[in-house]
Amino acid sequence: MNRKVSESIVETVHIVRPNHLNGAERLFGGILMQWIDEVAALAAKRHSHRNVITASVDDLRFLKGAYQKDVIVIRGKVTYVGRTSMEVKVDSYVENIDGERVLINRAYFTMVALDGSDRPVEVPGLELTTDEERQEWERAKQRRGIRIHRKDNF
């Protein structure tokens, strides 16, 4: 059974606290990486209804810093599925008091669904309902090609 992209969407919200800061008084990158990995896993679980693991992360980009008391919104959705793997795009924003969101990080995760014996297992197909989703799928196909090439040359 196919599932829609919208069924996989996950959004989490964090407030940057003193224990999240690095020596430069900015949000520590490792904390944000943990938060986005959790969102990627939740989105992949919503799509596959399986336990999942992170196989790889690519194009992880820190575009802007975040600071104490900033509100961080992290949004993930499945953009592509293979046989057992799913690509999850995760965007992170700082949301200001007016609700405006400024993109601070983007990453593409490859998550693999596991069966009860922790072996990769087939995932449902992805139903694309908008032009944006179809464009994202095409771009994801290219990223998958690059990933497979990189993996073969690791």
Ligand X SMILES: CC(C)(COP(=O)(O)OP(=O)(O)OC[C@H]1O[C@@H](n2cnc3c(N)ncnc32)[C@H](O)[C@@H]1OP(=O)(O)O)[C@@H](O)C(=O)NCCC(=O)NCCS
Interface positions with ligand X (CB under 6 A):
53-56, 82-85, 110, 112, 120, 147, 151
Q: How far is the CB of 11 from ligand X (least distance, A)?
A: 22
Phi, psi values for residue 51, rounded to 5°: -70, 150
Minimum CB distance to ligand X smaller for 115 or for 132? 115
CA distances, 17 to each of 14, 22, 72, 103, 126 (Å): 9, 11, 11, 19, 37
CB of 18 to ligand X, least distance (A): 27
Cα-Cα end-to-end distance for the chain: 34
Of residues 37 and 70, the one with the C-beta less far from ligand X? 37
Token duo for residue 48: 């596959």
Closest approach of Cβ 49 to ligand X, in Å?
16
Q: Is 19 or 153 the residue whose CB approaches ligand X more closely?
A: 153
